[in-house]
């Protein structure tokens, strides 16, 4: 966890930084917003910013947004009244932290932002084999390709590799290739010089330089434009990058980890992914099995999430009874661990008493979860005729629109998850959603925004 403190270190903010460091955070400090932006542009990255409530928070949030820097902002202040705290939240702060600092509160905020990315929870033998291989290759600097369905925990595995590597004390930087528009991804990766394009108001170091000495995760690399793949290949081969608008190459020393929910060999055959880049990336491939093939992990993860969300909601620990566990193990979990986590979080909030029963295991729309293949088959038989009748007379485009929007709603707005379920690329999904939005259709907001962090 890298914490950037914006404001004077005198008094209570200094005490807060000491508490954060005692909890394992790496803390840096600047006096004002201009210095903070200069630090971030220079590649001195941060996972969270803690800013004095008396500084212009709205200006900071606006500047971060204009330069596409995703950084959760936490306001803090001494003896601050409720109005100042509320104004800080309205200005874009994700949370307000009162000072003098409470060690446990600071620890909770740090944990919420880090989202336990370094913690692997597993017990199933199939997953143990994958983790064993990961531990074997972690100390090397070899590139690794992590393959698996959406929601299986590819980013968590990448973080696990980094923390068990010889680069663990260096930065771990993640770039979601599916979440950044094509025309901006090159700048995000390699940085840019001032004036290189409209909106480039200052030189900015890219993720390659920010990760120098450490690990760079290219999440969902299959969504990267094939022309940019050529520049990525050169950067990996020569360990040199060119900033957009730059005049001389910049040397970098990083380990590359890439993830994909698609079979990249098939993408090569479809000519949407470079074969030479695939060879560079998959020195070692880790394939994470879907949750439905890890029955032991369904049990272990369910109990882990029940404990986690009981604590985070200030509740006594909710136990899972046999009827609930039977329903959990019967579910196909097409959204894998992410879907299971959401289901358990919902069950913790909905259960009556201290025990989660089968009645609390519900789908996002409030309906019961599938209870096995027999139940699914019966459901298809009962509803098949009605569903077919409902489609007759409708235009294909309208049916497609309803399917896409309903799937997106089911996935809480997660574009990558929805695209995976629909069997289309994230780019195709975005194009469809833009058309719907332009026609005035209400499109579900992108998933990933929470109290502490916003990730598209």
Q: Which residues pair with 75 in a beta bridge?
A: 51, 96
Cα distances (Å, whole numbers) of residue 118 to 157, 260, 301: 8, 19, 15
Quote the DSSP letter at residue 261: S
Same domain, 141 and 106: no
Q: What is the pLDDT of residues 145-191, one digit of tens each?
A: 999 998 999 999 999 999 899 998 888 999 989 888 887 899 889 99
The verdict on residue 368 lying in a domain is yes
Least confident of 100-109, 204-213, 346-355, 383-392: 383-392
Is the N-terminal amide bond of 100 cis, ω within 30° of 0? yes
Q: Is the pLDDT of residue 391 over 50?
A: yes
Q: Name the pTM for this structure.
A: 0.68
Q: Measuring CA to CA, which residue among 145, 163, 135, 137 is closest to residue 287?
A: 145
Average pLDDT over residues 103-123: 70
Q: By residue range, what is the domain housing residue 447? A: 393-456
Taking the C-alpha atoms of residue 346 and residue 112, their distance in angstroms, rounded to an integer, is 18
Q: Is 368 helix (H, G, I), strand (E, B) or coil?
A: strand
What is the pLDDT at residue 113?
60
Q: What is the DSSP string of 13-76?
A: HHHHHHHHHHTT-EEEEESSHHHHHHHHHTT---SEEEEETTS-HHHHHHHHHHTT----EEEE
What band does 379 get if pLDDT is binned at 50, 70 and 90?
Answer: very low
Q: Is 200 helix (H, G, I), strand (E, B) or coil?
A: coil
What is the pLDDT at residue 371?
55
Same domain, 166 and 263: yes
The verdict on residue 281 lying in a domain is yes
Same domain, 280 and 333: no
What band does 112 get if pLDDT is binned at 50, 70 and 90?
Answer: low
Q: What is the DSSP string of 152-194?
A: S-HHHHHHHHHHTSTTTTS-EEEEETTTS-HHHHHHHHH-B-T
What is the pLDDT at residue 239?
93
Q: What is the pLDDT of residues 13-64, one digit of tens each?
A: 777 777 777 767 788 889 899 999 988 888 787 888 989 888 999 999 998 8
Quote the DSSP letter at residue 372: -
Taking the C-alpha atoms of residue 231 and residue 242, their distance in angstroms, rounded to an integer, is 9
Same domain, 205 and 156: yes
Quote the DSSP letter at residue 358: G
Any idea what the CATH number is for the domain that residue 67 is in?
Answer: 3.40.50.2300
Any idea what the CATH number is for the domain that residue 298 is in?
Answer: 1.10.8.60
Q: Measuring CA to CA, which residue among 184, 188, 190, 267 is closest to residue 226?
A: 267
Q: What is the DSSP string of 206-237?
A: -HHHHTTTSEEEEETGGGS-HHHHHHHHHHHH
Taking the C-alpha atoms of residue 80 and residue 73, their distance in angstroms, rounded to an integer, is 17
Same domain, 244 and 344: no
Pairing verdict, β 250-251 and 240-241: antiparallel
| Tally of structural domains, the chain | 4
What band does 373 get if pLDDT is binned at 50, 70 and 90?
Answer: very low
Same domain, 378 and 448: no
């Amino acid at each position: 966890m890298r914490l950037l403190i914006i404001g004077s270190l005198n008094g209570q903010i200094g005490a807060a930084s000491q508490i954060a460091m005692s909890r394992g955070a790496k803390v840096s400090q600047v006096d004002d917003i201009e210095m903070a932006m200069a630090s971030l542009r220079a590649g001195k990255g941060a996972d969270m910013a803690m800013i004095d409530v008396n500084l212009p928070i709205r200006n900071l949030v606006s500047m971060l947004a204009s330069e596409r820097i995703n950084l959760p902002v936490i306001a803090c202040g001494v003896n601050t009244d409720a109005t100042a705290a509320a104004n800080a939240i309205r200005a874009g702060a994700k949370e307000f932290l009162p000072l003098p600092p409470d060690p446990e509160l600071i620890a909770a905020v740090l944990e919420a932002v880090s989202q336990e990315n370094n913690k692997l929870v597993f017990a199933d033998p199939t997953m143990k084999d994958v983790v064993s291989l990961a531990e074997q290759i972690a100390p090397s600097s070899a590139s690794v390709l992590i393959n698996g369905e959406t929601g299986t925990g590819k980013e968590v595995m990448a973080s696990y590799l980094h923390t068990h590597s010889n680069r663990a004390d260096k930065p771990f930087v993640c770039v979601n290739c599916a979440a950044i528009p094509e025309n901006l991804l090159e700048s995000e990766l390699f940085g840019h010089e001032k004036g290189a394009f409209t909106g480039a108001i200052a030189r900015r170091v890219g993720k390659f330089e920010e990760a120098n000495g450490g690990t760079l995760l290219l999440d969902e690399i299959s969504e990267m434009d094939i022309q940019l793949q050529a520049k990525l290949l050169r950067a990996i081969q020569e360990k040199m990058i060119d900033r957009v608008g730059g005049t001389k190459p910049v040397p970098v020393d990083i380990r590359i980890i890439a993830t994909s929910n698609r079979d990249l060999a098939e993408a090569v055959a479809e000519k949407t992914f470079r074969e030479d880049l695939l060879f560079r990336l998959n020195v070692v491939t880790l394939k994470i099995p879907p949750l439905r093939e890890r029955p032991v992990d369904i049990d272990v993860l369910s109990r882990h999430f029940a404990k986690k969300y009981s604590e985070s909601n200030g509740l006594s620990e909710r136990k899972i009874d046999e009827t609930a566990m039977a329903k959990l193990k019967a579910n196909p979990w097409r959204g894998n661990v992410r879907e299971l986590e959401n289901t358990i979080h919902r069950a913790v909030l909905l259960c009556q008493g201290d025990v989660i029963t089968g009645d609390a295991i519900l789908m996002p729309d409030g309906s019961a979860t599938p209870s096995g293949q027999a139940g699914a088959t019966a459901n298809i038989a009962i509803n098949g005729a009605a569903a077919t009748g409902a489609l007759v007379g409708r235009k294909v485009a309208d049916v497609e629109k309803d399917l896409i929007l309903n799937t997106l709603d089911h996935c809480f707005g997660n574009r990558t998850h929805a695209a995976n379920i629909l069997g289309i690329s994230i780019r195709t999904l975005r194009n469809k959603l833009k058309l719907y939005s332009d026609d005035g259709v209400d499109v579900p907001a992108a998933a990933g925004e929470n109290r502490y962090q916003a990730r598209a």
